[in-house]
Amino acid sequence: MGVMAQLGPLSRTTVLVRWVMLGALSGMLAGVASFVFLEGLQRVTTLRVDHGWLIACLPLAGLVIGLANHRLAGRSSGGNSLLLEEIHSPTEWVPRRMAPMVLIGTWVTHLFGGSAGREGTALQMSGSLTDLAARVLRLGKDDRSVMLGAALSGGFGSVFGVPLAGAVFGLEVQTAGRVRYRALVPALTASVVGDAVVKALGHEHVLRAALPATTGIRSTVLIATAGIAFGAAAVAFVEATRAVRARMAKWFPTPTWRPVVGSIGVLGLTLLFGTDYLGLSLPLLDAAVGGTATDAWVWALKIVFTAITIGSGFPGGEVTPLFVIGATLGAALAGPLGLPVAVVAAIGMVAVFGAAANTPLACTIMGVELFGSAALVPMAIGCVVAYVVSGDRSIYESQPRDA
């Protein structure tokens, strides 16, 4: 796509149509995968809530996942980091087993109470299925790289219902500090199509109330102040997760027992602090963005629960937990800052994730898609400040940084 400027109008149109078709293919695969995943996730979450005793089986689930990681996963255990590596240096095909393994593993994690998210699953399923399609179509390395970027967009846009943010996310996440426009057409197509497929199949995303306009120098300064806290929370999450992962790798050279030990830690925390921090913890998120102030320690506990779950090898994702962390931190900060709880919680929801993934632009757009156009300026301020504060940290360990 980098040679488009050198082509004539007819050739440019041919290339455009080709990439729209390939992007649509990736989006359809991402949309179907996200629909299956989201519908199953709702059911296993409901089952866990209705049958609280399932939480006690988390160590057994951890053993099964650990054995699967050790004996079956192979390269697919690289997760999102593997996808980023293949985008920048295409070498081997993304393992076909990645999609079913991360799907089943994430369902198991949530069924028994692991504190994980859903974005990682959506991205890995989309990347695995898209690369399988690229293999069938016999695409070259450069085209594979572009298609994997589009797969990230399709997975993100479809699983969260944010097609514009999904398109930008797939371009922005590839390299921290730079947006890779080379995959713009297939990324936008994949995200829009993926979102449309999920909706057409009948899954309904949660609708958020539009935020009121927040303007003025005072509000700007206060939101920027909150942004500093959001960036610090992102750093705390990344460092905590890495610390758990490093400690587990040191104690257990093979991955079999890591989730078992992690699950025991999660169960111990549950006995101390209750079940609010298990799974996605969407009730905490909904309460915060709905305008309910939260205790000052809620966001920190969600970091601990999730860092242990993800760091010990349970599959899933970090994004929804980061949403919860940011929203509850924002709800706790709103009172001292003298700002509406719903506004600061909504900004925190996207800003903490944007800082942890180095995607402030995508998260600003996501905030607008979820909370309305009046949120544009405060979302941008919160996301940019948090991103600057977080520095080089990233939840994606193989994410390169633009020099």
Tens of pLDDT, residues 379-390: 999 999 999 999
Would the pLDDT of 341 be above 80? yes
User: How far is CA 30 from each of CA 27, 64, 159, 160, 383, rounded to the nearest angstrom?
Assistant: 5, 27, 9, 12, 27
Looking at residue 92, its pLDDT comes to 85
Would the pLDDT of 3 be above 50? no
CB 48 within 8 A of CB 110: yes
Would the pLDDT of 369 be above 50? yes
**Does residue 392 or residue 43 have the better pLDDT?**
43
Confidence band (pLDDT; 50, 70, 90) for 182?
Answer: confident
pLDDT in tens, 293-311: 999 999 999 999 999 999 9
**Does residue 9 or residue 158 have the better pLDDT?**
158
What secondary structure letter does DSSP report for 69?
A: I
CA–CA distance, 166 with 146 (Å, rounded to integer): 15
**DSSP state string for 195-224:** HHHHHHTT--PPPPPPPPP--SHHHHHHHH
How large is the average pLDDT for residues 361-375? Answer: 94
pLDDT in tens, 128-165: 999 999 999 999 999 999 999 999 999 999 999 999 99
% the chain with pLDDT above 70: 97
Would the pLDDT of 6 be above 60? no
Looking at residue 124, its pLDDT comes to 93
217-390: CATH architecture: Orthogonal Bundle (1.10)
Weakest-pLDDT range from 75-84, 308-317, 364-373: 75-84
Confidence band (pLDDT; 50, 70, 90) for 10?
Answer: low
Weakest-pLDDT range from 48-52, 164-168, 178-182, 361-365: 178-182
Same fold, 8-200 and 217-390: yes
User: How far is CA 364 from each of CA 348, 355, 358, rounded to the nearest angstrom?
Assistant: 11, 11, 12
Weakest-pLDDT range from 100-109, 214-223, 279-288: 214-223
CA–CA distance, 184 with 186 (Å, rounded to integer): 6
Looking at residue 88, its pLDDT comes to 86
Tokens for 54?
A: 């399932």
Would the pLDDT of 401 be above 60? yes
1 class by beta-carbon count within 10 Å (0-12 exposed, 13-18 middle, 19+ buried): middle
Confidence band (pLDDT; 50, 70, 90) for 70?
Answer: confident
Confidence band (pLDDT; 50, 70, 90) for 403?
Answer: low
Positive or negative torsion for Cα 50, 121, 278, 110: positive
Would the pLDDT of 256 be above 50? yes
Looking at residue 177, its pLDDT comes to 79
Looking at residue 8, its pLDDT comes to 61
pLDDT in tens, 195-247: 999 999 999 988 888 888 777 889 999 999 999 999 999 999 999 999 999 99
Confidence band (pLDDT; 50, 70, 90) for 4?
Answer: low
pTM of this structure: 0.92
Residue-range domain boundaries for the chain = 8-200, 217-390
Domain 8-200 homologous superfamily, CATH: Clc chloride channel (1.10.3080.10)
Weakest-pLDDT range from 240-244, 333-337, 369-373, 396-400: 396-400
% the chain with pLDDT above 90: 74
What secondary structure letter does DSSP report for 401?
A: B
